[in-house]
Amino acid sequence: MSPKHLYVHVPFCSRRCIYCDFSIAVRPVVPVTEYLDGIDRELHLRYPRTHEWNLDTLYLGGGTPSKLGADGIRKLLEIVSQYATLRDDAEVTIETNPEDASPANLEAWAAAGVNRISLGSQSFDNSVLEWMHRTHDADSIGEAVRNARGAGIDNISLDLIFALPDDVQRSWSDDLDKALELEPSHVSLYGLTIEPATPLAKWTNQQRISHPSDDRYAEEFLLAHERLTAAGFDHYEVSNFAVAGHKSRHNSAYWTGAPYAGIGPSAHSFDGATRTWNLKPYSTWLDSVLAGRSPVEGEEHLDTENALTEKVYLGLRTQAGYSVGSRDRAAAEQWARAGWAVIDGNLVRLNPEGWLRLDSLAAGLTGS
């Protein structure tokens, strides 16, 4: 059976943010036609329409998919529709920067089938946005939300980054206030991490800026949980909050181990047993598909041990929890006594204090 979930990676960005190590291609002029040709070629190579392929979710991520513009997104969805059929109630998400979320773009995207946007807000503090090398200002976030609703897209997710270095004068509480004022249906929170070969890593190594504090990470994570749940959000996954009926169906598929397809540079796919990933550089991926060669760079087959490790980790990172056997019961009960988890029969669910210890707790059950 074909996977019910499709991810399309659109790598283009106006510039690289200081923390970003994603597969992006900085282009002053986005080569929309060239990229769309590549996507069409990859779909033809890897997913020829020899049988019915129905999609429950389609996610356009990046990079900055909104850089394709109104017509580019319309054509991208038309290309996908030549190989797969979106169900009537399919969730179709596009990641967008606030400055791209104009009324004209949003109306065109909605007409093409987009019904959910993930807005790369990151902060409502202009000095912080400038420090991050973001290309938008704080006012444009609210404007983007209003434009989306005006176009009939009410399913709006805001991305925010927390746990910035102490040197950066940022009020996390104020950012949470301003996010809640916009009444989004979903909020995704990401603790700042310092990845190698990024400007942030260079600045930290040169001691131009301090390393983010573990204590600040914990304090801000717990504050976000307190504030968002008090406002009616369900903290359904370690980094994600949603009001009723608005959990990310696409991302939830990843966390439940469902098969999914990924196309575009660096995109990953999973068939339930084997994970594959595409060539990362845009030009390399493009050359491969245009030459009729598979862009898949590597694969990993999950053996029994690896499959168990993923099942434990994915279960514990979500509100769904993980069902423990008799061998792990004692460890789970210890977590509950420490105030990190709740046990319901054989099901153990981590709370926010537990999620702060997710990696070590999951490793304790798998022995990894």
Pick the residue with more confidence: 200 or 295?
295
pLDDT recorded at residue 204: 83
pLDDT in tens, 122-141: 999 999 999 989 999 999 99
List Cα–Cα distances, 317 to 72, 321, 322, in angstroms.
Answer: 35, 7, 9
Q: Alpha carbon of 62 to those of 22, 100, 134, 263, 329: distances in Å?
A: 8, 14, 15, 11, 40
Please tell me the predicted confidence (pLDDT) of residue 175: 98
Confidence of residue 21 (pLDDT cuts 50, 70, 90): confident
pLDDT of residue 56: 98
Poorest-confidence range of 15-29, 44-58, 283-297, 323-337? 15-29
* 298 pLDDT higher than 80: yes
Q: Please tell me the pTM assigned to this model.
A: 0.95
Higher pLDDT, 149 or 168: 149
DSSP state of 318: B
| Phi, psi angles (nearest 5°) of residue 44 | -65, -40
Question: What integer is the mean pLDDT of 160-172?
Answer: 92
- Whether 159 has a pLDDT exceeding 60, the answer reads yes
**pLDDT, tens digit (0-9, with 9 covering 90-100), for 210-258:** 877 889 999 999 999 999 999 999 999 999 999 999 999 999 999 999 9
Domain boundaries, the chain: 5-255, 304-366
- pLDDT score of 367 more than 70: no
Q: pLDDT tens, 310-353?
A: 999 999 999 999 999 888 899 999 999 999 999 999 999 999 99
* pLDDT at residue number 26: 86
Kindly give the pairing relationship between strand 347-350 and strand 274-278: unpaired
CATH 3.20.20.70 fits 5-255, yes or no: yes
Percent of the chain clearing pLDDT 70 (strictly above): 99
Q: Which residues pair with 158 in a beta bridge?
A: 119, 187
Please say if the pLDDT value at position 19 is more than 90.
no
pLDDT of residue 1: 62
State the average pLDDT for the chain: 94
